[in-house]
Amino acid sequence: DAGITQSPRHKVTETGTPVTLRCHQTENHRYMYWYRQDPGHGLRLIHYSYGVKDTDKGEVSDGYSVSRSKTEDFLLTLESATSSQTSVYFCAISPNTDTQYFGPGTRLTVL
Amino acid sequence: GENVEQHPSTLSVQEGDSAVIKCTYSDSASNYFPWYKQELGKGPQLIIDIRSNVGEKKDQRIAVTLNKTAKHFSLHITETQPEDSAVYFCAAKAGTALIFGKGTTLSVSS
């Protein structure tokens, strides 16, 4: 998985609780992305980062925030989880905004 | 914004046959088109990509073709093997984002 780890790999939480997912890379790539994957929707971009402390919104950013304080770490936070945020979350990294390499994913269930 | 349509949604072939998956895109400014393979429980794996200044690209049993005029691109897998069974996604790059198709489940039976 191109030097990308995601933690946790599985999480079950309750509606209204905050959740933070972590993406860690060892490739020193500049660009990092968070996607969610849902049946019937494919992969959709939540947020991305083009450098330390530089982030921007994607297609489905409502209810999510991100932070990147170091090149190697990109955090995705659900401030108050809802059942509609039950999904599989993938982090991706890229050296050049084109070629993206994906991590193993985090399966999140919000009850 | 960009929209990517992928067909078929499922494809079953016999081992040794060829498989073709097709995608169309809407934004004529899109200039990068990757294909990903996703096995059950894993993240998508980049298998081949093509840029808008190239019409065809091959890598062993896998090839991708691009028709910019018609705004469609295709993945061709020859001599399919059971280990080719997976979900395949196409994508098109519009601005800074990759827009993905909804995927094709390929089943190769021996």
Three-state SS for B54-90 is CCEEEECCEEEEEECCCCEEEEEECCCCHHHCEEEEE
Do residue A100 and residue B98 have CB atoms under 8 angstroms apart?
Answer: yes
Asked if B100's CB is within 8 angstroms of A102's CB, the reply is no
Model confidence pLDDT, tens digit, residues B1-22: 889 999 999 999 999 999 999 9
Q: Are A41 and A35 in contact (CB under 8 A)?
A: no
Task: Read off the pLDDT band of B52 (50, 70, 90).
Answer: confident
Q: Is the pLDDT of residue B31 over 80?
A: yes
- Which amino acid does the sequence have at B100? F
pLDDT tens track, chain A, 111 positions: 569 999 999 999 999 999 999 999 999 999 999 999 998 888 999 999 999 999 999 999 999 999 999 999 999 999 999 999 999 999 999 998 899 999 999 999 999
Q: Is B100–A105 a contact, with Cβ atoms under 8 angstroms apart?
A: no
Measure the CA–CA gap between B108 and B85, rounded to whole angstroms.
5
Q: Is the pLDDT of residue B54 over 90?
A: no
| A14-38 pLDDT, tens digit each | 999 999 999 999 999 999 999 999 9
In chain A, what residues touch B46 (CB-CB under 8 Å)? 99-102
pLDDT at residue A2, rounded to an integer:
63
pLDDT of residue A6: 98
Element of type H or E holding B45: strand B45-51
Average pLDDT, rounded, for chain B: 95
Cβ partners under 8 Å of residue A32, min gap 6: A23, A25, A48, A49, A68, A74, A91, A92, A93, A94
Rounded to the nearest angstrom, the minimum Cα separation between A98 and chain B is 7
pLDDT at A42: 87
Contacts of B54 in chain A (CB under 8 A): none
The tens digit of pLDDT for each residue in B77-92 reads 999 999 999 999 999 9
How much is the pLDDT for B2? 86
Determine the pLDDT at residue A1.
53
pLDDT of residue B95: 82
Identity of residue B63? A
What pLDDT, on the 0 to 100 scale, is given for residue B83? 97
Q: Tokens 């999510």 — which residue?
A: A64
Residue of A42, A90, A98 lying closest to B93 (CB–CB):
A98
Does A38 contact chain B (CB < 8 Å)? Answer: no
